[in-house]
Amino acid sequence: QIAKILGAPVVLVVDASACARSVAATALGHATFDPQMRLGGVVANMIGGSKDGAHVRWIRDAVESASGVLRDCGTNEPAMFFGGLPRDKQCSIPERHLGLHMPDESEEATVEASRRFDRLVALMEENLDLDGILELGRTCSMPMPSLHGHSQIPMAIPTPISKAKTTQNRCRIGIADDAAFCFYYADNLHLLKQAGAELVPFSPLSSTHLPPNIDGLYFGGGYPELHAAELEKNESLRKDVLSFCNSGAAVFAECGG
């Protein structure tokens, strides 16, 4: 949807670990499902073998053979095949139940994340047509607003919420914010502020008490199970939270929260 608003081409990344020619069928399905979406190119992920191997050749041949129907609706040029990324465990982000390992969990994790990123950059430079992808990006066709104030863009674009008028503070909401509770959508916090909420951060790990004079609590996502011992030790804060909940005040918790 964002690509349609911007008039930007989409590069479709397809998991090719268990398929070859059907990558072209998947791309064609995406292109025809929404004719207003510009499908400019295809990248195959998790390929077997090298960039010149049989797996990549089969996929490339299939995408190029569909050029009569697999086309970028913005330029009417055939969708390009930009190459395939091979399977490489050195680039894999380690998983855990209900999520991923965070890059800043420890110094070792930070170093490992940097190494993984460097390896992925090298793979992309070795296996993908990056110049072709950049050239495709230059075909973004979003019209500029006219000098007379009348937009030439054919579809409605939402007004950025940052331009909404901020109301005066109507309430104070305590936001759990530390290593145990760290997953928040910035838009949600921004909209709460726009609605008149003062957001007051506190740490369930280290704050001895809840912030004073709060009207609500917001516990976001995270991995509290990794910090269970520390959370258990913070008895004074746990008692504050329990008392706040029992008072009937507003409490919102999601995911790990």
Please give the distance of CA 15 from its chain centroid, rounded to a whole number.
18
What is this structure's pTM? 0.70
What is the DSSP track for 25-69?
HHHHHHHHHSTTS-EEEEEEEEESS-TTSHHHHHHHHHHHHTTTT
pLDDT tens for 162-210 read 555 656 778 999 999 998 998 899 999 999 999 999 999 999 999 999 9
Overall average pLDDT of the 236-245 stretch = 96
**Residue 255 among the catalytic residues:** yes
Taking Cα atoms as reference points, which of 244, 184, 192, 183 lies closest to residue 214?
244
Among the listed ranges 69-83, 96-110, 127-141, 229-243, which one has the minimum average pLDDT value?
A: 96-110
Measured at the CA of 224, the angle between CA 219 and CA 227, to 5 degrees, comes to: 135
Helix (H) or strand (E) holding 103: none
Show Cβ contacts of residue 178 under 8 Å, excluding neighbours closer than 6 positions.
Answer: 203, 204, 205, 206
Helices assigned H by DSSP within 95-175: 107-127, 130-137
Of residues 73, 140, 182, 255, which has the active-site annotation? 255
- 83 φ/ψ sector (left φ>0, alpha ψ -120 to 50, else beta): left
Separation in Å, CA 160 to CA 58, 163, 164, 197? 44, 6, 7, 19
pLDDT tens for 3-32 read 988 889 999 999 999 999 999 999 999 999
